[in-house]
Amino acid sequence: MDDLTLFGLIREGDREAFKTLFHSWYAPLCHYASHFLNDDEQAEEVVQDFFVRLWEKRATLSVDSSLRHYLFRSVRNHCLNLIRQDKVRQLHAVRLQEALLADNAPEEYTLSPEMMLKIEEGIEALPEKRREIFRLNREQGLKYREIAEKLGISVKTVEAQMGAALRSLREKLRIFIFFSFFTKKGKRE
């Protein structure tokens, strides 16, 4: 189902359609909001609040450009509003400047459900130890040395495991990545 069809259904009050929309965009939007707010919890609040309001306004909603653009734009404005409501006005300019500079394109935060699934499969297929090393690096952003210390192994082992993980995951995603390279160009707003 494409975005506009989905939107048509939501306008008519279709809760299931709204739930679908929510599920596909919740995580990317939270991720995006946390870039602005530097706080996961606050980011989730903003996005949840945004969806509740979206639902309230559903009947008069019109999206004539890109749905994705609309969602990201709205969440961005909510975040900037929140920053403005901060008690310490002095810091606003500094924080707003940081926030605006951290404002990347929506695709930097968005994974298609297919890609999500493929990555999950690829990661599940890794041997347990390798998967843990890869996760610590990609999820927590730990350096090789930190991973080595944490797990009581050598940095060399971390290097080898990361290399092997990259190789096997890239093999799984290869076709999809090239596909998304192609489509990205055409879809760019």
CA dist 56 → 15, 59, 128, 131, 176 (Å):
12, 8, 46, 43, 37
Q: Which of 4, 61, 114, 154 binds another protein (CB under 8 A)?
A: 61
Please, what is the minimum distance in Å from the beta carbon of residue 30 to another protein? 4
Q: Which of 121, 170, 183, 187 binds another protein (CB under 8 A)?
A: 170
Nearest to 77 by CA among 54, 108, 111, 107: 54
Please, what is the minimum distance in Å from the beta carbon of residue 144 to another protein? 5
Which residues ranging from 12 to 41 are in contact with another protein (CB under 8 A)?
13, 15, 18-19, 22-23, 26-28, 30-31, 40
What is the amino acid identity at position 129?
K
Alpha helix ranges (H) inside 125-154 = 128-138, 144-151
Please, what is the minimum distance in Å from the beta carbon of residue 152 to another protein? 19
Number of residues that bind another protein (CB under 8 A): 81
Residue 9: partners with Cβ closer than 8 Å, 6 or more residues away: 16, 17
Which residues ranging from 97 to 156 are in contact with another protein (CB under 8 A)?
97, 100-101, 103, 105, 108-109, 111, 115-116, 119-120, 123, 134-135, 137-139, 143-144
By C-beta, is 10 or 152 nearer to another protein? 10
Question: DSSP assignment of 87-104, as one string?
Answer: S-GGGHHHHHHHHHHT--
Q: Which of 8, 42, 63, 153 binds another protein (CB under 8 A)?
A: 63
